[in-house]
Amino acid sequence: MLNEDAARDKYLAAKAEQRLASLTLTSLAGLELRRARWLWKGRLAQGRISLLAGREGAGKSTIAADLAAAVTVGKLPGGSLGTPRGVIIVATEDDFHVTIGPRLVAAGADMARVYVVGSTLQAELSLPGDLPALEAQAAERDVALMVLDPMISRLGSLDTHRDAEVRQALEPLAATADRSGMAVLGLIHLNKTGTSDPNRAIMGSVAFAAVARSILMAQVDPDDETRMRRLLSHPKNNLGPLASTLAYDVTELTVGEDDGPITASKVVWHGEDGRTAFDIMTATSSEGKATGKRKSAETWLEDYLEAHGATSVEAVKLAGTTELNVSRATIERAAKQLGVVLERTGFAGQCTWALPQ
């Protein structure tokens, strides 16, 4: 046993010496500084991975089709404006004939510049194994954008909830994007944790949000009673300031001639909105809803005690739960937040609440 330990220690020492002999340090003196370049100005960087996150019905795939179409005809505001370029679309959830193709046509795409991996319109790309071949093909066709819809499906057997395994796929993808200058847009769902933090709401491992340099988030406008208006916010940008939120809705357009009229979804943009991703998430998350209820309870309780003075705690809670349709615990939290004074009166020890002096 001692001989085995000694042999192992000798082997490890030899490996350490080899590593030390091959390790070099390089000074950054004279390093060339480069500015970030944008395929979509301020939102989608060239040569980087970005995410487009959102729940079902927010129009993520329709937005991706709109961006792809704009790239193919040189109309996306950014570094390729005025220069039509190629796009790769890797999709598994929607059919190209029935859904993706009509969306691209509705958005005005040059279909000759849209490419898929393989010849059967079925997603055949696996990360990271297919990256060398993909990089060469993308360079030949002047591809500026690759859409992965959804990104999670491209990781094959890797566990999408394990940080280390997600990085096995995404870090080589990031290197490929950097060398080729191709923007990679991965579509991804939001989880149902109810958090008000946009970056924590992304499904799967935290590595998805960590590796992405920019994150766009598609959400239904919480203030729109019709549920038609949507918002594209920008919760993360490692390469510059956050871009303003854009309002949009998804309409229907009739396209197609080969098999009769086809109804396709299309994005209609409505300009900027002053709210941030955090504002929108707070308004729609369970945390935000809970906060909103407590704030309403605080306002109600303050008005009630100003009008009634010191009042039985039970009477206040009964009135609050009846008028606001909230729990007794919410009224209690509101009282604590306001610093309400609790007093015991009478021989029965009745408790009253009153506003602090």
CA distances 146 to 14, 230, 327, 339, Å, are 45, 24, 49, 55
Q: Across the 357 residues of the chain, what is the mean pLDDT of every consecutive 10-residue run?
A: 63 68 84 92 95 91 97 96 96 88 95 84 74 90 94 81 86 93 94 72 84 93 84 94 95 82 93 89 64 76 84 87 79 86 73 86
In the prediction, which pLDDT does 23 show?
76
Instruction: Confirm if 186 and 180 have CB atoms less than 8 A apart.
Output: no
Domain with CATH 3.40.50.300 in the chain: 38-284
CA distances 29 to 26, 36, 54, Å, are 9, 20, 43
Quote the Cα angle for 303-308-311, to 5°.
110
How would CATH label the architecture of 286-354?
Orthogonal Bundle (1.10)
Q: For the whole model, what pTM was predicted?
A: 0.74
For residue 232, the one-letter residue type is: L
In the prediction, which pLDDT does 346 show?
62
Instruction: Confirm if 247 and 271 have CB atoms less than 8 A apart.
Output: yes
Distance CA 210, CA 266 (A): 30
In the prediction, which pLDDT does 44 show?
96
**Percentages helix, strand, coil for the chain, rounded to the nearest 5?**
40, 25, 35
The gap from C-alpha 200 to its chain's centroid, in whole angstroms, comes to 9
Instruction: Confirm if 91 and 123 have CB atoms less than 8 A apart.
Output: yes
Distance CA 42, CA 37 (A): 9
Residue 78 CB neighbour total at 10 angstroms? 19
In the prediction, which pLDDT does 24 show?
82
Of 46, 109, 52, 49, nearest to 80 (Cα)? Answer: 46
Distance CA 65, CA 108 (A): 10
- DSSP notation for 52-109: EEE-TTS-HHHHHHHHHHHHHTT-SSSTTTTS--EEEEEESSS-IIIIIHHHHHHTT-
Per-residue tokens: 234: 């920008």
In the prediction, which pLDDT does 120 show?
59
Domain with CATH 1.10.10.10 in the chain: 286-354
In the prediction, which pLDDT does 288 show?
52
Chosen CATH of 38-284 out of 3.40.640.10, 3.40.50.620, 3.30.830.10, 3.40.50.300: 3.40.50.300
Quote the Cα angle for 136-137-139, to 5°.
65
In the prediction, which pLDDT does 123 show?
60
- DSSP notation for 36-53: --EEETTTEETTSEEEEE
In the prediction, which pLDDT does 226 show?
80
CA distances 193 to 190, 199, 217, 279, Å, are 9, 12, 16, 17
Of 306, 302, 337, nearest to 320 (Cα)? Answer: 302
Taking the alpha carbons of 196, 202, 203, 206 in that order, is the dihedral positive or negative? negative
Quote the Cα angle for 136-141-146, to 5°.
80
Q: Is the peptide bond before 261 cis (omega within 30 degrees of 0)?
A: no
Q: Give the CA count within 13 Å in the CB-facing half-sphere of 46.
A: 21
In the prediction, which pLDDT does 347 show?
55
Distance CA 67, CA 80 (A): 12
In the prediction, which pLDDT does 321 show?
83
Specify the 3-state DSSP secondary structure of 324.
Answer: helix
CA distances 23 to 11, 31, 285, 349, Å, are 18, 20, 49, 77
In the prediction, which pLDDT does 40 show?
96
Instruction: Confirm if 143 and 88 have CB atoms less than 8 A apart.
Output: yes
For residue 298, the one-letter residue type is: E
